[in-house]
């Protein structure tokens, strides 16, 4: 049976695409969470100086939820990748210099996402 490393590399590309999607959802969550602050600043500089928009609880909660969803997407992609690679025959898994690099990337991104969620909760 001949070796076909394209199967493994396709799995790596899929993992990286899901990690990219997770990062995008986390970034959208950050923007949504900070949109309430933007509205507060916008209304403070508007025509009516007495009215200041201060109800940004919904945007904070929704933004934090999006950040956590991005973390879950990243961790789920890592889990699926790990399970799939374990099912590959050994000849389809190429000898890489750093096999765990994709896992390190996705776990690091998930950790940074958790830190971002904690920052948004505490800020």
pLDDT given at position 57: 81
State the maximum Cα–Cα separation within the chain, in Å, rounded to a whole number.
77
pLDDT given at position 42: 67
67 falls within a domain? yes
Domain of 35?
6-122
85 falls within a domain? yes
Q: Using an 8 Å Cβ cutoff, are 112 and 75 in contact? A: no
Q: Please tell me the distance from the alpha carbon of residue 27 to that of residue 5, in angstroms, as a whole number.
A: 33
Per-residue pLDDT reduced to its tens digit, 11-68: 999 999 999 999 999 999 999 998 877 776 666 665 555 555 556 788 899 999 999 9
Q: Into how many domains does the chain fold?
A: 1
Name the residue among 97, 100, 93 with its Cα closest to residue 4: 93
66 falls within a domain? yes
Question: Where does 5-100 have alpha helices with state H?
Answer: 6-44, 57-87
Per-residue pLDDT reduced to its tens digit, 55-112: 678 889 999 999 999 999 999 999 999 999 999 888 888 887 687 888 999 999 999 9
User: What letter does residue 97 receive in the DSSP assignment?
Assistant: S
32 falls within a domain? yes
Q: Which two tokens stand for residue 112?
A: 């940074």
Q: Which two tokens stand for residue 115?
A: 């830190």
pLDDT given at position 123: 80
pLDDT given at position 51: 55
Q: Using an 8 Å Cβ cutoff, are 110 and 75 in contact? A: yes
95 falls within a domain? yes
117 falls within a domain? yes
pLDDT given at position 53: 52
1 falls within a domain? no
Q: Please tell me the distance from the alpha carbon of residue 88 to that of residue 99, in angstroms, as a whole number.
A: 14
């Amino acid at each position: 049976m001949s070796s076909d490393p394209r199967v493994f590399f396709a799995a790596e590309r899929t993992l990286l695409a899901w990690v990219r999607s997770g990062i995008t959802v986390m970034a959208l969550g950050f923007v949504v969470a900070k949109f309430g602050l933007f509205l507060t600043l916008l209304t403070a500089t508007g025509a009516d100086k007495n009215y200041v928009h201060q109800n940004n609880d919904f945007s904070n909660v929704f933004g934090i939820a999006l950040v956590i969803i991005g973390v879950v997407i990243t961790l789920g992609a890592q889990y699926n990748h790990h399970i799939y690679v374990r099912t590959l025959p050994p000849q389809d898994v190429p000898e890489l210099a750093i096999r765990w690099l994709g896992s390190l990337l996705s776990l690091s991104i998930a950790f940074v996402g958790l830190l971002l969620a904690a920052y948004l909760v505490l800020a």
